[in-house]
A and B are shown apart, each in its own frame.
Chain A
Amino acid sequence: MRIPILKLHDYLLISIQTEIDDNTAIQFQEDLLDKIHQTGSTGVVIDLTSVEIIDSFIAKVLGDVVTMSDLMGAKVVLTGIQPAVAVTLIDLGVHLKDVPTALNLEQGLVKLHQELGD
């Protein structure tokens, strides 16, 4: 199973709609980095509205993806993290510091636009 990555001008859009297992998460990490490399995108929005659970492993993969993309010159914003998921992450002790977030896809794009300053 692969998570589809859409391209919109200079941005990449990903909406995670399914329950993610470890393999899917790792596969996604690779796919995204490849896509950034191919397209030269400067911004990425990962929408997590439909994700009902993020455990420490998936949180680590997501955090890593943000840092890795940053290294490749693409800014990542995570959007739509559900309240229940946020509470669980805090309880787990996963802080995802320095990871930009926004309430929804739309505001995520606005945020990217502001941060990239164009």
Chain B
Amino acid sequence: MDREFKKIVLDNSDVIVQKWIDEIDTLKGFNYSDSVSEELLESTNREFVNIIFSSIKNEGDTKQLKEFSEKLINLGWKVSYITDGLQVFRRVTIDFILQQSDQIDTSYISELLHSVDEWVEPLIRQLVNEFSGNWENILSLQRVALQELSAPLIPVMDNITIMPLVGTIDTERAKLIMENLLEGVTQHNSEVVLIDITGVPVVDTMVAHHIIQAAEAVGLVGATCILVGIRPEIAQTIVNLGIDLGKFPTKSSLRKGFIKALGLTDRKIIRTEENNATIEQMIESLGGE
């Protein structure tokens, strides 16, 4: 039976393709943005239906299919274009074959449904896999990128390291922050670490708790932690929530924190003589004019 159905479909491919294109046209607007030109839409539809037919003929040509799905993915088309297209093909084909047949009983219909499903299913499977594989790929790339960004450690000078935090902190990220912080402290031999929370939008009890834990852990490995970048609203929430940050030093800005860190490591910033001289010379030369 399968052969007969195949023959009917292949012999009447022109009619089926036309019906398919007509139907798929009514679904326009759901599956792709308006920016897709008519020509592109039409050529893609043609290519799609050709792939369906060639797949029925040689029972699956994966290379062509892969190229087609890659193209769709690159153009940013939705996966529903594919599932809709194949559903429509199923419907149109079954309708057409039923119209062509004389005697129809339940076993005939069952075999027909079975055959058409067998043509379409591998296509759906492979195309959906290509799409989801692509999504998973993007997701894992983004995760890696995010992890790299999430807890950077900058050794600004001997014994002083800065960790600027930007964005929301959840438990998972807090753990990463703590581990990076401690590894960095021992690796760079930092006596003082500045955690800059200027870029952290919300400091609730959970975030504060994690920051306190990180600071305590830094204390255990033998370094000092200074929390900097505390904005007024954050100071308010911290006090209103009853969080005790009294155990380690805090500063409003990174600049103040850095000066404190220099103090803790017995250093301070001194303007060098030569610079003073040149500035004075400059002022003098300006006055002379």
Contacts and interface: CB of A to CB of B under 8 A. Distances in A.
- Name the interface size band of chain A: 20 to 34
Interface residues of A, dominant DSSP: mixed
A89 B220 contact: yes
Contacts of B190: 103
A102 interface: yes
A109 B220 CA distance: 16
Given A103-B186, A107-B191, A86 B217 contact: yes
A47 to B, nearest CB: 11
Given A101-B222, A103-B222, A107-B191, A87 B217 contact: yes
B189 A103 contact: yes
Contact of B220 (A81, A104, A107, A108): A81
A60 B191 CA distance: 26
B222 A79 contact: yes
A103 B217 contact: no
Contact of A87 (B178, B189, B191): B178
Of the candidates B182, B191, B213, B220, the one having the most CB atoms from chain A within 10 angstroms of its own CB is B220
A83 interface: yes
Interface of A: 78-87, 89-90, 95-96, 101-104, 107-108
Interface of B: 178-179, 182-183, 185-186, 189-191, 213, 216-223
Q: Across chains A and B, which 7 residue pairs bring their CB atoms closest together, nearest first? A: A83-B182, A101-B222, A86-B220, A102-B222, A103-B222, A86-B217, A90-B217
